[in-house]
A and B are shown apart, each in its own frame.
Chain A
C-alpha cells in the first residue's frame, strides 16, 4: 500500500516532466535568426542525464543515464523563414538505441529589412513521441523568440506555449514553458553564459514549485566559423520534477547546397 502511494506521489510530482519530456532531447534557447535559403543546417543534439529519475512510471522509462541523440535538419526557405525536422533517439542500458519520435518545426521571423531593434521570430513545433518516453504522444508548441545583441552581451527569450494533442494531459490546455539565455563574448570565438529552461504547467493552473521544471545551464558557444555551430553546457535541475544533472552538446554544420550567384 505504502509503495503504491509513494509511486502515485512520484508520478504526480513528475507529471510535467513526463508531459513535456521532449525538452531533454533538444535543449536550446532559440535565437531569432533563420537559416538562409538554399542552406541546410544539420545539428546533432547530444544530451546525457547524469542524475535523473530512476523509476519507471506509467510505463515510461527512467531518464537516469539516458543518452539522447537528436538529429535536427533545418532548411532555409527564404530570408525570413525556415522549416526544421527532428529525429529523436534514446540510448539506455537495458533498452538499447530507440527511436523516440519526430517533430516538424516551421518558423518565420521579422526580416532584416524592417530594421527592428530586436530580433523577433515565431516558431511552431508539432510532433509525436512514443509513449515509452512521453505519456503525451502528440504535442504542439508555439514559441515566440526575441533576441538582442548589445556589445558583448547577448540576450534571448523564448516564452513558449505548449499543449498536448494526445495523451493524459490533453485536457490541461496550454502550458507555459519559457526559456532564456544570457551570453557574453569573451573573444570573437568564445562566448559563455547561462541558459534557463522552465515549465510552469498549465496556464491558469500554475504547478506548485516542486512540480515545476526549473533547469539552469552553464554554457559556452564557440564561434569557430560561420558554417559551424558549437554549444556545450552542463545543467542542474532545481526542483524535484527536474532531472538534476544533464550534460548537453550541440554540434551544427551549415551546408550550402544552392548555386549562389555573386549577383544575387
Chain B
C-alpha cells in the first residue's frame, strides 16, 4: 500500500495546484474518487472477459463537475502497472491533463494520486486512460477504462426531461489483415454501456419526453454509426460544444473519442432499438432497447439503407470574405465560459502530413507526422496568444480521428484535395468547435485554435494502435 507520504508526493506531482494545507499534512476529502482495478465483466451471458475498469463498472462513474469550480479527484491504481487518467476535452494544465508525454506524473502500481484542476469548458467531456497498449488488445483504451464527464453550467445546449449517457465500445480485439495490406484490430463484441443488445435493462422513456442523448465513442479504434429506430435525433452539440446550427438527422457518426449530444422527442410509442447502423457491427451486440412506458412486444429496428453524415451541416452561416482573426471568430462563436483568443493577427499555418510505414502484411503500420514518429519527433514551439491553423494532410489510406489536448479547435475545411492547388477548394466552415475530428484518407482538412493554455500540448490520432505506433507530437509554449 502507498503511504500518506507517497500520496502527498504524488499529489504534488500530479495536482495542478495542490493546496498548502494538503502538503502540510491534512488532506481534505477529495470531491471524487476513482479506483482503477481489474474487473471481470459480463458483456452478455456468453461473453465474459477480464478487463480493467474504474470503480468496478463499465463505463466508469458519471462525474458531474461544476464549470470553473476547482475540483480534486483522487485516483488509486490497484493494477500492477502505471496508469494515468486523461480529462478529455478540458482546458487543464499539462501537469493534470493526464498525459505522461505532457508531464503528468504516472500513478505507480498501488499508488494514489490527486488531480486538482478547474473544469472548463462546460459540456459533455470524458475521462479515460492514456497509456500504451501496443500488441496487447486488453490494455489501455482496449480496456474498460473510460467514463463520462459532464461539466455543468447554466448554458445547456437544449432543454430536456431526461439525460442519458451512452458509451460505444469494442472488445476482444485481434489482428486482422485489411485491404490495404496491413494489420488492424478486429473485434469480437461491440457494446453500449458495456452490454450487448438485450442484456441488461432497457432505457425506459415516456411519451412526450425530451431525452438528451450524450453519446461517446470510447472504442479504441472503430468509427460507429448510430440510429434510433422510429425516431429522429436533433444534434445540438459536438464534442460537448453547442453547434451553430442544430440539425435533425437520421443517424450519427462518431469516430473514436468523439461525442455527440442529440435531443430526441419521444413521440412514437413502442419498443425500439437504438444501435449500430451497420448490420455486421450490430450483430456483434452494439444496440440497446428503448422502451416506452406501458409498451410491450419485440423491439423494432428499421434498417437504414445508407450511411449519412457530415460535419458541415452543423456549421454557422458563411462569414464575410474580409479576413478575420481566429481570435475574433472564436470569441464570437464559442459558448459562454470558453476562452476567447488573444491574438489580433492572422493565424499561423502549420502543415502536418500523415503517412504510414509498411512493416509487412503481418504487422501493424507505424506512423509519422511530417516524417517523424513519436517519440523520435521534434517538439513544435508555439507562441502564446497566437492563432494557429493546423493543416492536416492525410496521405495515408486510413481515416484518422485527430485529437488536440487541452484546447478546442474550430473546423475550417474538410475533404480537400491533398494537393491544395488541385481541384475545387472545399467550402469554408465556421463555428464548429471540437477536440476530435475525423480526417478522411487521402484528404486535407484544416482546423484553427488559439494558443491560450500554456504548456506541453499533445496532438495525436485517437486510434489506439496509431498513437501507440508513432502518430503523436507535442506542441510547447510558455
**A102 CA to B200 CA in the complex, in Å?**
54
**A191 CA to B172 CA in the complex, in Å?**
31
**A189 CA to B80 CA in the complex, in Å?**
42
**A264 CA to B277 CA in the complex, in Å?**
9
**A154 CA to B306 CA in the complex, in Å?**
37
Residue of A151, A153, A262, A263 most packed against chain B (CB within 10 A): A263
Contact in complex: B176, A112 (CB < 8 Å): yes
In the assembled complex, which residues on chain B have CB atoms less than 8 Å from the CB atom of A153? Answer: 360, 362
Please give me the residue from chain B that is nearest to A227 by CB atom: B179
Q: Mark A147-178, 1 if CB is under 8 A from B, else 0.
A: 01111111000000000000000000000000
> Chain B: residues with CB nearer than 8 A to chain A?
172, 174, 176-177, 179-181, 183, 186, 188, 225, 277-280, 303-307, 358-363
Please give me the residue from chain B that is nearest to A79 by CB atom: B280
**A188 CA to B363 CA in the complex, in Å?**
11
6 A-B pairs with C-beta separation under 8 A: A115-B172, A150-B360, A153-B360, A185-B360, A187-B358, A263-B306
Of the candidates A115, A152, A191, the one whose C-beta lies within 8 Å of that of B359 is: A152
Contact in complex: A263, B277 (CB < 8 Å): yes
Given A223-B181, A264-B278, answer yes or no on A152-B188 (Cβ-Cβ < 8 Å).
no
Please give me the residue from chain B that is nearest to A117 by CB atom: B174
Q: Is A204 an interface residue (CB 8 A)?
A: no
Given A153-B362, A187-B358, answer yes or no on A112-B181 (Cβ-Cβ < 8 Å).
no
Of the candidates B174, B186, B362, the one whose C-beta lies within 8 Å of that of A149 is: B362
**A193 CA to B87 CA in the complex, in Å?**
49
**A262 CA to B303 CA in the complex, in Å?**
12
Contact in complex: B359, A151 (CB < 8 Å): yes
In the assembled complex, which residues on chain A have CB atoms less than 8 Å from the CB atom of B183? Answer: 149
Q: Mark A91-114, 1 if CB is under 8 A from B, else 0.
A: 000000000000000000000110
Contact in complex: A263, B304 (CB < 8 Å): yes
Contact in complex: B181, A154 (CB < 8 Å): no
> Chain A: residues with CB nearer than 8 A to chain B?
112-113, 115, 148-154, 185, 187-188, 191, 223, 226, 261-264
Contact in complex: B363, A151 (CB < 8 Å): yes
In the assembled complex, which residues on chain B have CB atoms less than 8 Å from the CB atom of A223? Answer: 181, 361
Contact in complex: B303, A263 (CB < 8 Å): yes
Contact in complex: B304, A115 (CB < 8 Å): no
Besides A149-B363, A154-B362, A263-B306, 19 new A-B residue pairs in contact (Cβ under 8 A), listed by A number: A112-B174, A112-B176, A113-B188, A150-B362, A151-B359, A152-B359, A152-B360, A152-B363, A154-B361, A185-B358, A185-B361, A188-B181, A191-B361, A223-B181, A261-B305, A262-B307, A263-B304, A263-B305, A264-B279
CB of B3, distance to nearest CB on chain A (Å) = 42
Contact in complex: A263, B179 (CB < 8 Å): no
In the assembled complex, which residues on chain B have CB atoms less than 8 Å from the CB atom of A188? Answer: 181, 358
**A187 CA to B303 CA in the complex, in Å?**
41
Given A149-B362, A263-B278, answer yes or no on A226-B179 (Cβ-Cβ < 8 Å).
yes
Please give me the residue from chain B that is nearest to A116 by CB atom: B174
Residue of B305, B306, B363 most packed against chain A (CB within 10 A): B363
Given A112-B176, A263-B307, answer yes or no on A149-B361 (Cβ-Cβ < 8 Å).
yes
Contact in complex: A148, B181 (CB < 8 Å): no
Closest 6 CB pairs of A and B: A149-B362, A152-B360, A115-B174, A151-B360, A188-B358, A185-B360
Please give me the residue from chain A that is nearest to B176 by CB atom: A112
**A185 CA to B186 CA in the complex, in Å?**
22
Contact in complex: A152, B362 (CB < 8 Å): yes
**A124 CA to B161 CA in the complex, in Å?**
61
Given A112-B176, A223-B181, answer yes or no on A151-B307 (Cβ-Cβ < 8 Å).
no
**A223 CA to B277 CA in the complex, in Å?**
32
**A187 CA to B362 CA in the complex, in Å?**
12
**A187 CA to B306 CA in the complex, in Å?**
36
In the assembled complex, which residues on chain B have CB atoms less than 8 Å from the CB atom of A261? Answer: 305-306
CB of A81, distance to nearest CB on chain B (Å) = 17
Given A223-B181, A261-B305, answer yes or no on A149-B277 (Cβ-Cβ < 8 Å).
no
**A152 CA to B358 CA in the complex, in Å?**
9
CB of B328, distance to nearest CB on chain A (Å) = 40
CB of B254, distance to nearest CB on chain A (Å) = 16
In the assembled complex, which residues on chain A have CB atoms less than 8 Å from the CB atom of B303? Answer: 263
Residue of B176, B304, B361 most packed against chain A (CB within 10 A): B361
Contact in complex: B177, A149 (CB < 8 Å): yes
Please give me the residue from chain A that is nearest to B178 by CB atom: A226
Residue of A148, A151, A226 most packed against chain B (CB within 10 A): A151
In the assembled complex, which residues on chain B have CB atoms less than 8 Å from the CB atom of A262? Answer: 278, 306-307
In the assembled complex, which residues on chain B have CB atoms less than 8 Å from the CB atom of A264? Answer: 278-280
Given A112-B176, A115-B172, A263-B306, answer yes or no on A148-B362 (Cβ-Cβ < 8 Å).
yes
Given A149-B362, A185-B360, answer yes or no on A115-B188 (Cβ-Cβ < 8 Å).
yes
**A115 CA to B174 CA in the complex, in Å?**
6
In the assembled complex, which residues on chain A have CB atoms less than 8 Å from the CB atom of B304? Answer: 263
In the assembled complex, which residues on chain B have CB atoms less than 8 Å from the CB atom of A113? Answer: 188
In the assembled complex, which residues on chain A have CB atoms less than 8 Å from the CB atom of B360? Answer: 149-153, 185
**A149 CA to B363 CA in the complex, in Å?**
8
In the assembled complex, which residues on chain B have CB atoms less than 8 Å from the CB atom of A151? Answer: 359-360, 362-363
Please give me the residue from chain A that is nearest to B281 by CB atom: A263
In the assembled complex, which residues on chain B have CB atoms less than 8 Å from the CB atom of A154? Answer: 361-362
CB of A183, distance to nearest CB on chain B (Å) = 9
In the assembled complex, which residues on chain B have CB atoms less than 8 Å from the CB atom of A149? Answer: 177, 183, 360-363
**A36 CA to B362 CA in the complex, in Å?**
20
Please give me the residue from chain B that is nearest to A155 by CB atom: B362
CB of A41, distance to nearest CB on chain B (Å) = 15
In the assembled complex, which residues on chain A have CB atoms less than 8 Å from the CB atom of B306? Answer: 261-263
CB of A155, distance to nearest CB on chain B (Å) = 9
CB of A96, distance to nearest CB on chain B (Å) = 41
**A113 CA to B359 CA in the complex, in Å?**
24
**A263 CA to B188 CA in the complex, in Å?**
18
CB of A168, distance to nearest CB on chain B (Å) = 43
**A264 CA to B186 CA in the complex, in Å?**
16
In the assembled complex, which residues on chain B have CB atoms less than 8 Å from the CB atom of A150? Answer: 360, 362-363
**A226 CA to B188 CA in the complex, in Å?**
24
Residue of B179, B360, B363 most packed against chain A (CB within 10 A): B360
Contact in complex: B279, A263 (CB < 8 Å): yes
**A226 CA to B182 CA in the complex, in Å?**
12
In the assembled complex, which residues on chain A have CB atoms less than 8 Å from the CB atom of B181? Answer: 188, 223, 226
Please give me the residue from chain A that is nearest to B276 by CB atom: A263
**A188 CA to B304 CA in the complex, in Å?**
36
In the assembled complex, which residues on chain B have CB atoms less than 8 Å from the CB atom of A191? Answer: 361
In the assembled complex, which residues on chain B have CB atoms less than 8 Å from the CB atom of A263? Answer: 225, 277-279, 303-307
CB of B174, distance to nearest CB on chain A (Å) = 4
